[in-house]
Structure 1
Amino acid sequence: MVRPDFPIDALLPDVRASLAAHPRLVLEAPPGAGKTTQVPLALLDAGWLQGRRIVMLEPRRVAARAAAGFMAQQLGEAVGETVGYRIRFDSRISARTRIEVVTEGILTRMLQDDPLLEGVGALLFDEFHERHLAGDLGLALALDVQAGLREDLRIVVMSATLDGERLAGFLDAPRLSSAGRSFQVEVSHFPARREEAPEHHARRAAEHALREHPGDVLVFLPGRREIDRLAAMLESLRSGPRSRTMPKPGMPPIPAAIEILALHGDLPVEQQARVLQPHADGDRRVVLATNVAESSVTLPGVRVVIDSGLAREPRHDPNSGFSRLDVVTVALASADQRAGRAGRVAAGWAYRLWPQSQRLEPQRRPEIAQVELASLALELAAWGSDALRFPDPPPAGALAAARDLLRRLGALEDDHRITAAGRRMLALGTHPRMAAMLLAAAGDAQRPLACDLVALLEARDPLRGRSDALAVRWQALAAFRHGRAPADAHRGALAAIDAAAAQWRRRLRIAAPPPASVPAHALGDLLAHAFPDRIARQHPQDPYRYQLANGRMARLFDDSALYGEPWLVASELRFEAKDALLLRAAPVDETALRAAFAPRFREHDETRWDPARRALVAERVRRFDGIVLDSRPGARVDPQQAARALTDVVRQLGLDALPWSDGLRQWRERGRCLREWMPELDLPDLSDEALLATLDDWLLPAFAGKTRLDALDAPALGEALRAGVDWHLRRRIDLLAPERIAVPSGMQRRIDYAHGAAPVLAVKLQELFGLADTPRIADGRVPLTLHLLSPAGRPLQVTQDLRSFWERTWPEVRGEMKGRYPKHPWPEDPWNAAPTHRARPRT
């Protein structure tokens, strides 16, 4: 193969020199520069590599195969010799392989299995701007390995659209930038018609592009479903003579030979390779692609890009407990990268299917900030440390929720250490919920059924109609295998699910075939191991309501296929304000639950809050996890349980359930204000959120020996609250945010600290005679808002500028008030008048 020239070629000597002198590098290069395929080849003979392998992380399977294939072609070899790849369920490497292109989960497993990375000299992170969670984790693990075990390991982070300066600062690495190869692209917004469906909008844009412009057309769509629908619409352009022979007056006809191709991650390798090669007869092509075509793959002949502006990206879905692919608007950087695909071989055109007035986010948000983190938490536990350096750290709340789930699944100890079961889950390379279910399956009946369930839960719904029974979906899969799929099922979706289940059986070395039929509770008995927090028991008074193991309530549809089942396990819920809605579930057998989850069935004494009596009552309760099976009156309330129960009552009802005095509320507000005004004092946070989060620290001890909420009085509450603030800081609050302040009349007047407003001093006007400027607190930083009152205590003026009031407003106020309150002083010169709080000042 004759090697083409690439824009990155001029920069390759600098790349080699930089890595010879420094172990890390940030490389910025736009699409088409050649970084994905030329940088690994250029580093093969580097002296520091010492014959070791280069591992390149490629986020997408299509791009990984394509990159490995192109590099192998340049070397005149087959894939699997010098250059190979490893992706999920597919591998093409050998003992000769020096460059391995791997997808994200593969790199994480390599690092976890061998932190020394024996035989690896360099890690390349391609397309890092996509900010996948696994990519961020892989980089964090690699940096930890480099810092502690392998100082000689080279790390290169490559990207087309990225804040390279920020990343180079984070990595303490040099930064190199390459020019791209692109021609001018004319970008315009193709207007939609009123109430037009997105697929019809895209079809019209494709027809326009084929009539008006040369070359192939690349259409970016969110996912496979949209690709299939648009492909069906465009078939008429190939097979229907009407569109070719009867164009509108003045418009050129659509060419007769058009090939319509799809490009997404679920395609077989042969079909992906076909898209990446030009048509043998030179016919024009319309390629319908997901965002896999944004980078790392080259589509020859594309001159027109049609961009829906949409993509399917992972988002945390609380309904299912997983991260699901949601349709979202792309970032501006992605839209520009898509448009650039039209200018790779010649000048091109890009049509955007959103209004020009719509503003896009500049950069893509990292997945770590918006997906479910159970897999990440398990990886950190296996690594033995969560003190890793992430470009964007994982949110603390999401990480805590993930660890709570892992403890329920038996993957973590209470101290966050990984269990033996957790390590087995991690080795399966799927979500911990799915891994827990696969490990729990036993025997030739359950194991292949568990593979079916994993495939079903990870795929899109194969049914067109609404049904909340997971069994209906499995039965459709079983029928499909025997050539009689239901009429309301997507055959393509069922075929993909069947293929995924087969891959799991091969991976787990399961020789038994999938069952043709199963008992009623078989699905739920397995599913309970994946969703132990969503095992549900029917409410004794309302058969449509269920109590979940996590303590929440859920309800069935009115026409539910699951009505009457005493126990369910839910794979999907819609969380609502009151009860969650059971979207998908399966019945589970109580006997199976008792066998599998025996420690969670327990009987013990509990202390419960009785809202009618506003007191605690003791009960003997039988539970399954958070589900109350039955209860009966117990003995006297245990004092230790009472303090904990009363604290939980306050956590549920809120801080207003406590006996706040006005003085104590003001003290809290004074502390809150001073913390805002003078952060250098490092005062504790006294906000509602902070106090609720720390109830066990300051309130729990105050309830010792009490069994009623009203047994705690205001003085005891104040003592408990102030105990968390040391004596020195309490003095600073009293000094800098005083409760009262002396006014010129000699009286001490109260300052009112209201949440979200400036502190207020309400004082009779005569008490401020002789005072030129507004009083200030917080070491002079904060002026008081003066509510100047009449002798009868009614407001006359509100100001924070007393001097201006005396100079400008006083004459008017004096003239009006002198006749109304003749016994009170109204001097012409308030600057020098004697202040007083009396009607007749003493002489």
Structure 2
Amino acid sequence: MPDPHDPHTFDLARIGAGLPAAALIEELSHAEAAPFPRVVAEAPPGTGKTTVVPPMIAEHVAWFTEGSAGAELPRRIIVTQPRRMAARAAAGRLASLTGTRLGEVVGFTVRGASRTTAATRIEFVTTGVLLSRLLRDPELTGVAAVILDEVHERQLDTDLAFAMCRELADLREDLAVVIMSATLDARLWAARLGDGPQAPATLLSVAAETHPLEIRWAPAKERPLDARGVTWDFLDHLAATTVRAVEENATGDVLAFAPGAREVDEVASRVRRRVESGGRSGAGLGSDSAAIEVHTLTGRTSAKEQDAILRPIDPGSVGVGRNRRVIVSTSVAESALTIDGVRIVVDSGLSRGPRLDTRRRMSGLVTMRESKASGTQRSGRAARQGPGVVYRCMSESDWASLPEHTPPEIATSDLTSAVLALAVWGGDEDLLPEPLPAGPKRQAIDNLVALGAVEADHVTQTGRAIAAIPASVWSARGLLDGAALLDPARAAEAVAVIESDQRAPGADLSALLRHLRRSKDTRFAQDRRRFASIAREFASDGDGGDTGDDGGNGGGNGGIADRGELTRVSGTSLTPEDLGLVTALSYPLQIARLRSASDSEYLLASGTAASLPRDSSLQGSPWLAIAEVGLAGSRAIIRSAVSIDVDTAELAGAGLLHTVETATFESGRVRAVRRSRLGGIELTSTPIQAGPELARRAIAASVRERGAREVLRPSEEFESLRARLGLLRAIAGEPWPEVTWEHLSETLDQWCPDALDRIAKGSDPARVDLVSALRGLLPWPEAVRLDELVPTHIEVPSGSHVRLEYSDPDLIEQRAATGADDESRADDESAAASQRTEIPSPILAVKLQECFGWTDVPRICDGRVPVTMHLLSPARRPLAVTTDLASFWANAYAHVRAENRGRYPKHPWPEDPLNAPAAKGTKRSGR
């Protein structure tokens, strides 16, 4: 037996015997690797890299450090796996190859279970366990190397662990960092792990013998997904294809992939029924149906069952002397696990992954089509140990339309936990493989502020407590508050139920609690004890409430247990009411009330809607505390919840309770209502008398919605003044006021509060003096020149005072904006000229005869704006439009005279208009 105190513990020749990855040992010995190197190891699936690389790195570190500083050197090698099952299996496999018992030289630590000793050299952990250690001990004391496996899966925890370990390696010269995967862009990762493309990390790669793989297409007649998820018909097809695969292949075990645990159980049940009835024809499976064993493999499969499925078998016995197996699995078997004896894969073509809906502030697991990369990984399970066959439950054209790669979780997941971990770590976010998406990051920060986990630019005491609890940030906050309101034991049991990976029957968490108690589920018992210990620890440290925080669980609860009006609830065992309270404390934004005229549709405090499954015993419950919501297309499905009463809803959602007074202005009347709300849920609604401010806001809102002209019905005098001011604003800018309706509508309560008050009291808007209010915006002393700069009338040669028609300021603003766009495409001088020409000048519509002898058009605004002349016939019909009268008389007048003198013979049409007297009336009138 190897001596764990001997630095050279591992017999690499024995461990790597028959494994292609053993070639990596020779590669590392020839590479110019430092004693604590940075390495990227690339090896195809089934080559044994997870078995070979950890002891290889352990021996490399021991070799280079032997004889220096002795026992003080860090010695442990940490190896991450994305899933608990893979960590346990890899540790067991390596321990058996070293001839030691699991937990001695080689051990593992996963959530709720650990097999290690002080002498353990290699420890397999889930990535989440490593993150917790990094946050608790940022230096990773006693660790000589970290090996991140299956990096290609781009799980969020793996991306975070990479960034933290990459930064730690810069701070600790005695820390090796290795990343490895079956399918990754090795050179890109080598640059990330090293110091860029010019100084990459050491790159090791190994090829492997590829076995033939036959692809058979097995498309279903029915669509696999509908609005509620995977269809029953498709599950029948998947089961039938699995049985067909057994019948058509005389030897080899079958590995069938379904998207989730529910689908795994359904398909396994259907396969068993078909096996018992003799397959498709009744003869294809032979007379002894017991020769086929049907197993399920999911994250909640017991450790004993996992070991039985993953236990190595004698290759010579495949198909001979033992029962054939059908193993129906989720994606846990897609990578990192080798199941001996598998020669056939049945791929549903579906996968389940996290999705964040930022609009509805909701995240959940979504069933979708797999990527080609995922499908290739799955099919590769069949050809790991020999020739294989894969049945793909789709057509070849369906396969061609699949996306090439599965998007990384960083792009699709709720980032709340990740942002908190980075904040606690305090490191360089730029070291992540790709940046955090801006929108989800902002939402995550909002969530953390509401949780009381962060304030301004620092992590609060509560935030550090939440980050230290191995649960979701929501359940962690529920544990802290629940322990204070109930007690640590009951709060811990509630959180253990919420965090359980078992499906709640009919979405009912109370039913799941009863099931977990009856089944004596060991993992549930472990989680319950672990969470109780954590809750007691924080309670004794005084960290559970953090009264200085203003946040709350996703909605502003901020240490709800610290509020003076709340008292500890007495009791000895967890009741459904307690479970509802802790669930609501954990997810206050998911407190929900039944919608009227429905038994299954609920409105959440977040303002979004979700529905219960058809078979749920919770249907009709007035209030729910929801722990999990699934997204099925555009619909949100409640996956787990518990019934609560309104008092519990208001207690747990105290940070969401608020009262709002709203008013509307319709048919000349202001109607106001006071509403009490729990987030987006309306609790009460009472008509009230609107105060002045509320009434003003209602009228202003009506103006913005329906338009000022419809609501206020302004007079012509008002519109004339507004148009004149609009031209001055466009030409001279400040201090002349902005008078577009958009701006005036936004500032109604500032420039016409008295008018709004009169309208609110019932006065007809058309009779309210808005002109005086608008004049109140005029600047002083410039206001005295208003009529001089923008006159209302112009005197023409006949002596008439003709009204000027100014353009609507909204039109001027629109044209000015167009000019500003032009400015970005031209030099400043030409763009400014372009903008000036776009400002419409005022119009002077006057009879042509009244302008005889006039050669220059009038100009306003201190001569900066020429007036546009609309020359009219005696019948006031347009004859010409001009800004150059001299040119009109010289060039166009003769033609106009010829066309109109016969039509209007009573009016003067002199041959020489420049020397003719201007006339208001006819020749006879002499005016």
TM interval, shorter chain, is 0.5 to 0.7
The equivalences for 1:410-429 within 5 A come to: 410-413=452-455, 415-429=456-470
Q: State the SS of the aligned residue for 1:363.
A: coil
Q: How far did 1:588 drift?
A: 5.2
Structure-2 residue corresponding to 1:366: 408
CA distance in 1, matches of 2:329, 2:95: 25
The equivalences for 1:544-693 within 5 A come to: 549-550=605-606, 565=622, 569-571=625-627, 610-612=664-666, 632-633=688-689, 636-637=692-693
Q: State the SS of the aligned residue for 2:46.
A: coil
CA distance in 1, matches of 2:811, 2:662: 22
1:556 and 1:563 in contact (8 A); partners too: no
Unpaired segments ≥5 residues, structure 2: 1-10, 66-72, 224-232, 537-568, 713-718, 731-741, 757-769, 778-807, 841-878, 881-894, 897-927
CA distance in 2, matches of 1:258, 1:84: 34
Q: Deviations over 1:620-656 (max 9, x none)?
A: 88766666756745654399x979x979997999xxx
Distance 1:92 1:635, change over 3 A: same
Q: State the SS of the aligned residue for 1:198.
A: helix
Choose from 307, 311, 322 the match for 2:347: 307
Q: Deviations over 1:552-601 (max 9, x none)?
A: 68899999967695x76555679999999988765656666776666765
CA distance in 1, matches of 2:632, 2:218: 39
Structure-2 residue corresponding to 1:185: 213
CA distance in 2, matches of 1:481, 1:449: 15
CA distance in 1, matches of 2:644, 2:40: 53
Distance 1:557 1:133, change over 3 A: closer
Structure-2 residue corresponding to 1:275: 309
1:218 matched to 2:255? The reply is: yes
Choose from 290, 295, 319 the match for 1:261: 295
The equivalences for 1:43-122 within 5 A come to: 43-46=57-60, 47=63, 50-122=73-145
Q: State the SS of the aligned residue for 2:431.
A: coil
Name the amino acid aligned to 1:165.
Answer: R
Q: State the SS of the aligned residue for 1:121.
A: strand
Choose from 426, 433, 446 the match for 1:404: 446
Q: How far did 1:35 drift?
A: 1.2
Q: State the SS of the aligned residue for 1:357.
A: helix
The equivalences for 1:225-264 within 5 A come to: 225-235=262-272, 246-247=283-284, 257-264=291-298
Q: How far did 1:30 drift?
A: 0.4
Computed over aligned residues only, the root mean square deviation of the Cα atoms, in angstroms, reads: 5.6
Distance 1:121 1:637, change over 3 A: same
Structure-2 residue corresponding to 1:527: 583
TM-score normalized with structure 1 length: 0.68
Name the amino acid aligned to 2:467.
Answer: L
Distance 1:32 1:704, change over 3 A: farther
Choose from 51, 55, 59 the match for 1:41: 55
1:326 matched to 2:356? The reply is: no
CA distance in 2, matches of 1:647, 1:23: 65
Q: How far did 1:430 drift?
A: 1.1
CA distance in 2, matches of 1:540, 1:226: 33
Q: Deviations over 1:236-273 (max 9, x none)?
A: 5765568898349xxx9888723333322222222111
The equivalences for 1:803-822 within 5 A come to: none
Q: How far did 1:382 drift?
A: 1.6
CA distance in 2, matches of 1:430, 1:550: 22
The equivalences for 1:126-137 within 5 A come to: 126-137=149-160
Choose from 17, 22, 32 the match for 2:46: 32
The equivalences for 1:418-497 within 5 A come to: 418-442=459-483, 447-458=488-499, 470=508, 473-474=509-510, 476-477=511-512, 480=515
Q: How far did 1:200 drift?
A: 3.3
Deviates more, 1:294-303 or 1:41-50: 41-50
Structure-1 residue corresponding to 2:767: none
Structure-2 residue corresponding to 1:294: 334
Q: Deviations over 1:78-106 (max 9, x none)?
A: 11122111111011111111111110110
CA distance in 1, matches of 2:668, 2:429: 45
Q: How far did 1:357 drift?
A: 0.8
Q: How far did 1:210 drift?
A: 4.1
Q: How far did 1:201 drift?
A: 3.8
Choose from 312, 321, 345 the match for 2:385: 345
Q: How far did 1:108 drift?
A: 0.5
Distance 1:717 1:422, change over 3 A: farther
Q: State the SS of the aligned residue for 1:91.
A: strand
Q: Report the count of equivalent residues.
A: 694
Q: How far did 1:735 drift?
A: 5.7
Distance 1:204 1:88, change over 3 A: same
Distance 1:78 1:246, change over 3 A: same
2:108 and 2:125 in contact (8 A); partners too: yes
CA distance in 1, matches of 2:834, 2:352: 59
Q: How far did 1:464 drift?
A: 6.0
Distance 1:722 1:441, change over 3 A: farther
Q: Deviations over 1:725-767 (max 9, x none)?
A: 999977957667688599xxxxx7999xxxxxxxxxxxxxxxx
Q: How far did 1:285 drift?
A: 2.5
Q: Percent of pairs identical after alignment?
A: 33
Q: State the SS of the aligned residue for 2:390.
A: strand
Structure-1 residue corresponding to 2:759: none
1:616 and 1:642 in contact (8 A); partners too: no
2:661 and 2:673 in contact (8 A); partners too: yes
CA distance in 2, matches of 1:577, 1:287: 29
Q: State the SS of the aligned residue for 2:107.
A: strand
1:545 and 1:554 in contact (8 A); partners too: yes
Name the amino acid aligned to 1:431.
Answer: S
Distance 1:266 1:169, change over 3 A: same
Distance 1:562 1:105, change over 3 A: same
Deviates more, 1:194-203 or 1:11-20: 194-203
2:35 and 2:64 in contact (8 A); partners too: no
Q: State the SS of the aligned residue for 1:14.
A: helix
Q: How far did 1:143 drift?
A: 1.9
CA distance in 1, matches of 2:50, 2:42: 11
CA distance in 2, matches of 1:389, 1:329: 31
CA distance in 2, matches of 1:611, 1:64: 65
